[in-house]
Structure 1
Amino acid sequence: MKGVQVSDTPMEFLVEYLTRAQEICDGMAHIPAELKDNLGKALELASGLDHYLEGMTSKESEQLAELNAETVSHDWDQAYKDGKTMFCLPKECITGHVEGQTLKMLVRMSKARRVLEVGMFTGYGALSMAEGLPQDGQLVACELEPYLKEFSQPFFDKSPHGKKITVKTGPAMDTLKDLADAGEQFDMVFIDADKNNYINYYNFILDNALLRLDGVICVDNSLFKGRVYLREVEDENAKALRRFNQFVCDDPRVEQVIVPLRDGLSIIRLVPMATASTLQQSPITDDVVFRGVGGASVLGRMRLDGKVAYVTGAGQGIGRGFAHALGEAGAKVAVVDIDEAKAKSVVEELTLKGIRSIPIVADISESEDVQRMVDTVVSTWGTIHIACNNAGINMNSASEDTTLSEWDKTFNVNLRGTFMCCQAAGRVMLKQGYGKIINTASMASLIVPHPQKQLSYNASKAGVVKLTQTLGTEWIDRGVNVNCISPGIVDTPLIHSESLRPLVQRWLSDVPAGRLAQVTDLQAALVYLACDASNYMTGHNLVIEGGQSLW
């Protein structure tokens, strides 16, 4: 038999009171029709909201749905009577569908990798947040009741995200002290525990740096049945939460907003820097190191929001990886390739990730194509901030057999083409007084890779390095940085071709890292050279080759 619905949230109480009022009105004569009509409309608005939110919120996973059903149907009163739990746990305390999806979204929006849950009724909320974490993410749940760990673990084991969850049983403060002693830090903390200790948990988390810079604290039940803002309240939990809400509101270390979701969800964020009044009271050096350049953190300075970039040879391999990296960092990206189908394919990939991009077909060995490429980017987005000159070719032959045709073709793309791209993009950048040019050179500019014979390639890439150094010194004082990246042997489909596959083991024996480079090994370096954090670096050849050039 289904139990009677017990009101637990401000909206549920509002519906309950409006329903009673309507019943009273219906039983009385001479009630104005306008009053009845407005009362009915108010009840319709209040009673329909939660149902609408439930229906319009993305569906929960199969594992969450199963965990919720088992939790709701479980006889928690009997578990308490049997001595399995220390407290009689009301099933109304579990995190619901809408709140679970909200927490999951907050994890994703904050790009959290590590989450701490200081809670009770570990299960639905923990798994919801774990679903929002990346594959290598971790959620640590502080749970007082060992029985709840036993109850939830089978459902965690069924979920592909359950392995991210570690449940630590015992008093929450003891667990927090252990985590602090171990130097642990978290990107997001969710507090849903004993209300009288909210302030203690909150202060301990901030005072012991358990929350990372720009981290987020979410606090459940912060509206507590609406009693936190009612005038006359005797409920001790309500009084504790009223004190907590005011304490956080007055805390200069954070900013907060309370979202009227179910029983209230506070979202609390560390402020980027101390306030002026706090600085006056603290013996710290208030300078650019403390505040960050332009008020931005180091990671913030590596963002490329609002920047316009192009990448040549972006239809595959390293160039494709570079296009994704710049787009993920916030830039708009022109995907340039001689193969139209490949360029469009990468644009489709970027579009699926919400990255603004356009395809451009160009042969960079042709000056007309290079100028058209630059003109297209400028006409589309107004400027160019980042020029990634990556396109290149390689044809192997013994030096005595290398033809002038092979030499010229290699140099026309690798060196002449790179020069033309630098010059065309550089003219735009010099005019605006800002720009980042990153050329793709090669480890072959430093050593002679073997056993393959590639004279023209090696010489052309050495030329790219000297071109980069020369432009880097000429243009730095006019706001344009020119650098290059020299990858080692990168694991691309070409490496596994019939002609090169036999050489892989020989190459691996020359690499201290014991493996070939992946395209993803180069992405962060490109973003660094493209962002403002590298403004003092120019003419540099950034070598990423697993140590191969050292042997």
Structure 2
Amino acid sequence: MPHYTEISIRSIAEMLKRARDIAHRTPDVPEELRTCLQKALDATRGLELSSTSLGSSNRTTSSVDCHQNDLFCETKIKTKEEQPSCDAEGQLYRMLVQMMRARRILVIGMFNFPCLLAMVDVVPDDGKITLCAPQSYLGEATQKAPDFLSHRKKIREKNGPITDSLKEFAAMGEDFDIVFLDADQRSPAEYYRFVMENHLLRMDGMLCVRNALMKGRGYLENTADENVLDVKTLNQVINSDPRTEQVILPVQGGLILLRRQSLCIHGETSPRGVVKDEVFWGFRECRILDRLQLDGKVAYITGGGQGIGRAFCHALGEAGAKVAVVDLIPAKADAVAHELSLKGIKSMAVVADVSKPEDIQKMLDKVVAKWGTVHIACNNAGINMNSPSEETSLEEWDKTFSVNLRGLFLCCQAAGRIMLNQGYGKIINTASMASLIVPHPQKQLAYNTSKAGVVKLTQTLGTEWINRGVRVNCISPGIVDTPLIHSEELKPLVQRWLTDIPAGRLAQVTDLQAAVVYLASEASDYMTGHNLVIEGGQSLW
């Protein structure tokens, strides 16, 4: 079925302006009519602003010059300097995909190609946009947008009867982060019902109904237009559906955004077999992913300027915490703090030598002065100086313990005092797989012993402080892949390590990020004194 003709808000405004001017020039026109025309014109200005303000874009690859009546709008390649903008609808969809972090998108019915182009640009490489329509409609469009071909692998087309395609998705157990439903087709309400009843829209997913108002024709009381009647039926079904919450936007032919609510069982009477307890509603009525959020929390990470510490800074910041990047080298702390600020994360750089008690106290004073307190103490700074045991000097031993154990203890103690006073805190120490086994063939007596001490310190503090609201845990990484171990002289050693790791690879710093967020969040409130080992199974052999 062809799409109805779009009439732009700008065109309506121009016609109303002409009508208003004619009314002012005509003596016999009632004043009431002139006033109504002016109010209508003022209203279109508000609508035009709400629509066009969505149109700015930072896209650097292409832009779209849309003619309202052309499904496949003319697409032109622009330079970065021109900073073009796509149409308002496409930019809105682009933002929705980014905000939802959508990987799986379903489009039911025909779709505006510039809108598709705007979305596919931000879908991750492992994501997919599935187009479900009676026949293919990308052929002509892709010829007009050569840059689209590089994203073609992100598009899956399912042509033929739409109902059959939807049944196939349901049978395969597929679900989608965002579903776009074009109301300007036959029986859209049936497609809506099928999507909702067969859980094609994931929990907390978003369903976008395009052309939902048909330029107001959906509100006509007396109409025989089957298209309009189908849209009215769809609106009635949506409005009476308790599973969703909705908002209508004045974009193009009207856009309804629907979010599936996770729970739609109300009242005291539970359906058969449903137990409405904390498992059902969520602990303190929070979903599990919400319990991993760190919004409003303040964290510091020692050794945050590189490697594991840098990864911890990004992980805690992305989860919502304010992050103090603590490092011995100012440039490294500044660089990571700048990275975080680019992502919109509140951050600060602090220089401190954790082997010096006065530096630790100054570091905490700076954090508290800026953000009021400390909720998360991530004591990660450490050093490793390899040598055979018989040749390990007292200087090497003392220096290793001064940072790895003494400095870590001082950080725990100083942060712990703040946390005990406020009755809440999470302390996360970086230990090592070397606390469990003797890694080989390298010889590192001082390092192994210091990390074993970190585990025992963590266990002791964890039991002493849990009943006062402070949990103390540690993470023991395996051998982490860093630029340092890729030197020529260490290549034989790396090959030996790989033979000892069931996972068949070294750890990446990103392998550790979820663990630090879990230990920092309320989801781990019943865990204390625990050594969370992440080493690809190496300690099992």
State the TM-score, normalizing by the size of structure 2: 0.89
> Structure 1 unaligned runs (5+)?
1-5, 76-95
Contact (CA 8 Å) 1:443, 1:543: kept in 2 or not? yes
Residue correspondence of structure 1 range 374-385 to structure 2 within 5 A: 374-385=364-375
Cα RMSD (Å): 2.9
Give the structure 1 partner of residue 139 of structure 2: 150
Cα offset, 1:238, TM superposition: 2.2
What code does the residue aligned with 1:58 have?
A: S
* Equivalent residue in structure 2 for 1:250, among 231, 240, 247: 240
Give the structure 2 partner of residue 530 of structure 1: 520
Residue correspondence of structure 1 range 48-87 to structure 2 within 5 A: 50=48, 53-54=51-52, 57-59=55-57, 61=59, 65=63, 72=70
Contact (CA 8 Å) 2:300, 2:323: kept in 1 or not? yes
Give the structure 2 partner of residue 392 of structure 1: 382
1:228 matched to 2:218: yes
Cα offset, 1:170, TM superposition: 1.1
Contact (CA 8 Å) 1:441, 1:465: kept in 2 or not? yes
Q: Tell which deviates more after alignment, 337-346 or 105-114.
A: 105-114
Contact (CA 8 Å) 1:490, 1:518: kept in 2 or not? yes
* Equivalent residue in structure 2 for 1:28, among 14, 22, 26: 26
* Equivalent residue in structure 2 for 1:343, among 333, 336, 358: 333
CA distance, structure 2, for counterparts of residue 226 and residue 492 of structure 1 = 60
Give the structure 2 partner of residue 462 of structure 1: 452
Q: What SS class does the counterpart of residue 500 from structure 1 fall into?
A: helix
* Equivalent residue in structure 2 for 1:311, among 295, 301, 306: 301
Give the structure 2 partner of residue 91 of structure 1: none
* Equivalent residue in structure 2 for 1:172, among 162, 165, 171: 162
What code does the residue aligned with 1:21 have?
A: A
Contact (CA 8 Å) 1:67, 1:123: kept in 2 or not? no
What code does the residue aligned with 1:15 have?
A: A
Change (3 A) 1:248 1:56: closer
Change (3 A) 1:198 1:348: same
Cα offset, 1:7, TM superposition: 6.0
> Structure 2 unaligned runs (5+)?
74-85
Change (3 A) 1:119 1:502: same
CA distance, structure 2, for counterparts of residue 378 and residue 162 of structure 1 = 51
Q: What SS class does the counterpart of residue 370 from structure 2 fall into?
A: helix
CA distance, structure 1, for counterparts of residue 132 and residue 263 of structure 2 = 29
Cα offset, 1:136, TM superposition: 1.8
Q: Tell which deviates more after alignment, 185-194 or 270-279.
A: 270-279
CA distance, structure 2, for counterparts of residue 279 and residue 161 of structure 1 = 50
Q: Number of residues paired by the alignment? A: 526
CA distance, structure 1, for counterparts of residue 209 and residue 146 of structure 2 = 23
Residue correspondence of structure 1 range 23-422 to structure 2 within 5 A: 24-25=22-23, 28-31=26-29, 39=37, 43=41, 46=44, 50=48, 53-54=51-52, 57-59=55-57, 61=59, 65=63, 72=70, 97-121=87-111, 123-146=113-136, 148-153=137-142, 155=145, 158-192=148-182, 194-277=184-267, 280-281=270-271, 283-422=273-412
CA distance, structure 1, for counterparts of residue 413 and residue 46 of structure 2 = 63
CA distance, structure 2, for counterparts of residue 388 and residue 121 of structure 1 = 48
Cα offset, 1:498, TM superposition: 5.3
What code does the residue aligned with 1:8 have?
A: E
What code does the residue aligned with 1:326 have?
A: L
Cα offset, 1:239, TM superposition: 2.5
Contact (CA 8 Å) 2:142, 2:149: kept in 1 or not? no
Cα offset, 1:425, TM superposition: 0.9
Give the structure 2 partner of residue 453 of structure 1: 443
Contact (CA 8 Å) 1:367, 1:420: kept in 2 or not? yes
Give the structure 2 partner of residue 513 of structure 1: 503
Cα offset, 1:395, TM superposition: 0.4
Change (3 A) 1:457 1:69: farther
**CA offsets 1:249-280 (integer angstroms, 9 cap, x no match):** 22111110111112111010112322414964
Cα offset, 1:411, TM superposition: 0.4
Change (3 A) 1:429 1:355: same
Give the structure 2 partner of residue 542 of structure 1: 532
What code does the residue aligned with 2:140 have?
A: F
State the TM-score, normalizing by the size of structure 1: 0.88
Q: Tell which deviates more after alignment, 450-459 or 55-64.
A: 55-64
Cα offset, 1:160, TM superposition: 3.8
CA distance, structure 2, for counterparts of residue 122 and residue 225 of structure 1 = 17
Change (3 A) 1:13 1:253: farther
Change (3 A) 1:270 1:37: closer
CA distance, structure 1, for counterparts of residue 517 and residue 410 of structure 2 = 23
Contact (CA 8 Å) 1:122, 1:152: kept in 2 or not? no
Give the structure 1 partner of residue 78 of structure 2: none
Contact (CA 8 Å) 1:189, 1:217: kept in 2 or not? yes
Which consecutive aligned stretches of 4+ in structure 1 deviate over 6 angstroms post-superposition?
32-35
What code does the residue aligned with 1:295 have?
A: E
Q: Identity of paired residues, percent? A: 57
CA distance, structure 2, for counterparts of residue 481 and residue 102 of structure 1 = 43
Give the structure 1 partner of residue 83 of structure 2: none
CA distance, structure 1, for counterparts of residue 467 and residue 475 of structure 2 = 21
CA distance, structure 1, for counterparts of residue 393 and residue 68 of structure 2 = 75
Give the structure 2 partner of residue 86 of structure 1: none
Q: What SS class does the counterpart of residue 345 from structure 1 fall into?
A: helix
Contact (CA 8 Å) 1:387, 1:436: kept in 2 or not? yes
Cα offset, 1:204, TM superposition: 1.1
Cα offset, 1:10, TM superposition: 7.9
CA distance, structure 2, for counterparts of residue 377 and residue 490 of structure 1 = 29
